[in-house]
Structure 1
Amino acid sequence: MGNSFKLKQYLVPGAFALVTGATDGIGKAIAVELAKTGFNLVIHGRNKEKFELVKQELIAVNPACKVIPFMHGEWNLPAEIPLTVLVNNVGVGPIERFITSQDIESTIALNVTFPTKLTRYVLPLMKAPGLILNISSYAALMPPPYLAVYAGTKAYNNAFSIALARELKNVKVMSLIVGSVHTASNKKPVTFMRPSAATFAKHVLKKVGSGKKRIIPYWPHALQIFLISLLPERWIDKATKAAMEKEI
């Protein structure tokens, strides 16, 4: 009841939430949960066919849900809609021994430049009270080898969120530290430590109103990060390098 109420404070009449990377994975799952709560959705993505599929899924869980496309590269959000929630979810993390210059540029563009510019674009349009959820990663806290650029971008997301949270008066900002989640890009099986995107999304929205600027939404991830932090650094270095080399 408490957490649901705290989310619903942003559910003004006709309220919209904008979710980036919402045609797959965590973004899509968060969009579905927001639709169930009663929000209309602005769906950001690159693929119009996927957008139509997600639109039908959102309407299936909430027939009254209005769904607006926000195609990547187009800055055409209607100024008159009551936008109260922004979820900066979209991101990419290429795992490579020798990351290419093109991958460096595209990773920084999608993980850093785009959410920063989008937040700047959206803030004047947001209705008070407003909420911004920025997806960071455990990599921001414990940077793994072969993901140096990705880890750097997620550290930026975390710092950006906390700074904004201290700056803004009528908009709450939360940095979400994410561990392994089963998605289209992470096809490892669902386990206790690797929840489905749907399960993870529920945990995310339950944390709204916690009063924290940075939070690990899924408690097994928090436990995992804590236990790893107790190990000697040389063990962490060896274990993470071995694990990431298997990924490569």
Structure 2
Amino acid sequence: MATGFPLEKCHAVITGASSGLGAEFARQLAPHADTLVLVARRADALEAVKDGLGTAKTRVLCCVADLATDAGREGVLAFLDAHGVKPSLLINNAGLGDYGSFVSSSVEKTRTQIDLNITALTLLTHAMLPRLERPGGVVNISSLASTLPMPDLAVYAASKAYVTSFSEALAVEMATQGVTVTCVCPGPTPTNFSKTARREDGGDTNRDGQDLLRIPPQRVVREGLQALQRGRACVFPGTGVSIAGIVFRLMPRRLMRFALKRRMEKP
């Protein structure tokens, strides 16, 4: 029965590892892991993360792949086989957002959000679970947004609601099979997310109140890994985010929609 995942001497695959939370997962796992496989689309950024780890005892491999495609996901599996890596931990961190109304969104970016946030995470997890050494671990990065129907971030929030629900169900399924599944739901965190979520016209989203919930990537990752070690199915890093997660989950949906409508009406 899965009671928690031990970090020491793990073999971890980290997606979206070229920056932000993915790079921070690599930094915090480097002192413990035997192998780190860093996955992202940009080879130069992956190499920069690798060079910055400053560890001699950990084997660090960079795998360039576009996880939003079937070929990219298959490429990751082939890479693991080619390098003789038998993973014990999968960290599904790769994701994409899009600021602005749904009706004005581009079809291409909307499709990519769904392909990356939902399809890639689901199918990569499905392919990796039979490969995971036991004890095994899966960390899925969701968001505080998963508890909200968020105007101007509708597809992203909905995709993260899927990630949270999927992760909690999987945690129950895998509990007797030696695999710990933990869903991490951070609030506002200073990463490259906002930069990539902005549209070409510079459009942004309403950030009122975010400063009260903002915590650094280092704390998000630290609390996420602690939750994995303790066998927790879901964690909202940071005191404010944890309280907000409880409030948002318990708030009547009619009241929530009213509050969100009022927020949208602000100039």
| TM-score of the two chains, using structure 2 as the length reference | 0.78
1:65 to 53, 58, 65: 58
1:184 aligns with 2:198: no
Q: Which residue of 2 aligns with 1:210?
A: 230
Q: Which residue of 2 aligns with 1:3?
A: none
Q: Is the contact between residue 171 and residue 181 of structure 2 (CA under 8 Å) also seen in structure 1? A: yes
1:134 offset after TM fit, Å? 0.4
1:82 to 79, 86, 107: 86
Q: Which residue of 1 aligns with 2:8?
A: 11
1:144 offset after TM fit, Å? 1.0
Matches within 5 A, 1:30-41: 30-41=25-36
1:238 offset after TM fit, Å? 3.4
Q: Which residue of 2 aligns with 1:170?
A: 178
Give, as a single letter, the amino acid of the residue that structure 2 aligns with 1:103: K
Give, as a single letter, the amino acid of the residue that structure 2 aligns with 1:11: E
1:96 aligns with 2:96: no
Q: Is the contact between residue 145 and residue 240 of structure 1 (CA under 8 Å) also seen in structure 2? A: no
Q: Is the contact between residue 183 and residue 235 of structure 2 (CA under 8 Å) also seen in structure 1? A: yes
Extract unaligned runs of 5+ from structure 1: 1-5
Query: Per the alignment, in what secondary structure is the counterpart of residue 69 of structure 1?
Result: strand
Mapped partners of 2:88, 2:173: distance in 1: 17
Q: Which residue of 1 aligns with 2:244?
A: 224
Give, as a single letter, the amino acid of the residue that structure 2 aligns with 1:69: C
Deviations 1:36-68 (A, max 9, x none): 22342100101111111011112x1x2212111
Deviations 1:55-95 (A, max 9, x none): 1112x1x2212111222222323233231111101100101
Q: Is the contact between residue 11 and residue 84 of structure 1 (CA under 8 Å) also seen in structure 2? A: no
Mapped partners of 1:237, 1:113: distance in 2: 28
Deviations 1:9-32 (A, max 9, x none): 2434xx311111011101111111
Mapped partners of 2:256, 2:242: distance in 1: 18
1:242 offset after TM fit, Å? 5.3
Q: Quick one: structure 1 residues 175 and 239, their matched pair in 2 at CA, closer, same or farther if it must change by over 3 Å?
A: farther
Q: Is the contact between residue 10 and residue 130 of structure 1 (CA under 8 Å) also seen in structure 2? A: no
Extract unaligned runs of 5+ from structure 2: 66-71, 196-206
After the TM superposition, which of the residue ranges 74-83 and 121-130 deviates more from structure 2? 74-83
| TM-score of the two chains, using structure 1 as the length reference | 0.84
1:239 offset after TM fit, Å? 5.0
After the TM superposition, which of the residue ranges 63-72 and 101-110 deviates more from structure 2? 63-72
Q: Quick one: structure 1 residues 41 and 164, their matched pair in 2 at CA, closer, same or farther if it must change by over 3 Å?
A: same
- Supply the RMSD in Å over aligned alpha carbons: 2.5
Q: Is the contact between residue 180 and residue 228 of structure 2 (CA under 8 Å) also seen in structure 1? A: no
